[in-house]
């Protein structure tokens, strides 16, 4: 056991009667996200940071069937971004054989360290993917204005909510063969677009974060709505920006 905690202390990190405990929430929310088509085929997921602890789902498993005892816990304090395969000091590793932490871990970490986010959601929603496909190959970002659901989105994902009259802009980065290889380009896009509440990944999906899991979920829902309507608007040859 790599953790300095006793077995009982490590288990207590994920076993709780509290439905709001991160290990219970990750299991429940992944079931909900599965029904939305956000985390099918084992892809996508959510990570929650609570104080000094980061809760992570396992990689490559049916995300809608995760149980609290399958959850990994890492300390938030790290000397570098914890990439799968690198040295990581887990506080808790599931006892079930063959599990490793989500390949999205370093991308979730970008949201935790660069935006002080409390939760980050990754979806493979077809609305997000189709939107990236409808943008020219060299488009750096997606922009939309004059939509009510923009008001559910926060500046930088963690600041004040946008107004109906604000233009929402989300960078689009290229996909890579391996999820963790998106870490640097996601971080660069977050630096270049400090007000963006999410990062779209071409032909892959989206990463959305918030101060809390509730805010990350609200913003994921508002953004997914906006991605869907944007796809329909583009197909109908309507401009995304402006009050036409
Ligand atoms: C259809 S598998 C997709 C995965 O490689 C990846 O894109 C993903 O989002 C999930 O990674 P995971 O390591 O299972 O949490
Ligand atoms: Zn993915």
- Per-residue model confidence (pLDDT) at position 85: 85
Query: Averaged over 144-166, what is the pLDDT?
Result: 98
Taking the C-alpha atoms of residue 167 and residue 145, their distance in angstroms, rounded to an integer, is 5
For a ligand 1 pocket test, name from 83, 94, 104, 200 the mutation site with the most ligand atoms within 8 angstroms of its C-beta. Answer: 104
Q: Which domain holds residue 115?
A: 7-235
Does the residue 109 lie in any domain? yes
Does the residue 1 lie in any domain? no
Does the residue 89 lie in any domain? yes
Q: Is 123 in the pocket of ligand 1 (CB under 6 A)?
A: no
Does the residue 131 lie in any domain? yes
> Ligand 2 centre from 206 Cα, in Å?
8
3-state secondary structure of 172: strand
Number of domains in the chain: 1
Does the residue 54 lie in any domain? yes
Taking the C-alpha atoms of residue 114 and residue 194, their distance in angstroms, rounded to an integer, is 9
> Could you give the ipTM of this predicted complex?
0.97
Does the residue 32 lie in any domain? yes
Q: If residue 73 lies in a helix (H) or strand (E), which one and from where to where?
A: strand 72-75
CATH number for position 182: 3.40.225.10
Taking the C-alpha atoms of residue 6 and residue 28, their distance in angstroms, rounded to an integer, is 27
Instruction: For 31-71, write each residue's pLDDT tens digit.
Output: 999 999 999 999 999 999 999 999 999 999 999 999 999 99
Does the residue 240 lie in any domain? no
Does the residue 81 lie in any domain? yes
The binding site for Zn(2+) comprises 122, 124, 204
- Per-residue model confidence (pLDDT) at position 1: 43
Query: Averaged over 12-23, what is the pLDDT?
Result: 97
Q: Would you say residue 212 has pLDDT above 80? A: yes
């Amino acid at each position: 056991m790599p953790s300095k905690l006793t077995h009982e202390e490590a288990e207590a990190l994920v076993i709780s009667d509290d439905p709001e405990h991160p290990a219970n929430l990750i299991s429940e929310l992944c079931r909900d996200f599965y029904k939305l088509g956000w985390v099918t085929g084992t892809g996508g997921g959510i990570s929650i940071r609570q104080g000094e602890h980061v809760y992570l789902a396992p990689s490559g498993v049916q995300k809608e069937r995760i149980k609290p005892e399958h959850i990994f816990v890492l300390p938030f304090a790290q000397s570098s971004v914890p990439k799968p395969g690198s040295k990581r000091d887990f506080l808790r590793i599931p006892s079930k054989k063959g599990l490793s932490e989500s390949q999205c871990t370093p991308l979730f970490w970008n949201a935790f360290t660069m935006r002080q986010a409390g939760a980050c959601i990754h979806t493979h929603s077809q609305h997000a993917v189709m939107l990236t496909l409808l943008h020219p190959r060299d488009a750096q970002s997606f922009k939309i204005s004059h939509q009510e659901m923009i008001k559910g989105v926060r500046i930088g994902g963690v600041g004040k909510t946008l107004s109906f009259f604000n233009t929402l802009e989300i960078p689009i980065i290229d996909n890579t063969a391996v999820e963790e290889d998106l870490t640097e380009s996601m971080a660069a896009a977050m630096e270049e677009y400090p007000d963006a509440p999410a990062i779209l990944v071409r032909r892959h999906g989206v990463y959305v974060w918030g101060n809390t899991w509730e805010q990350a979920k609200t913003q994921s829902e508002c953004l997914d709505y906006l991605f869907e309507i944007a796809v329909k608007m583009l197909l109908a040859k309507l401009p995304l920006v402006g009050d036409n």
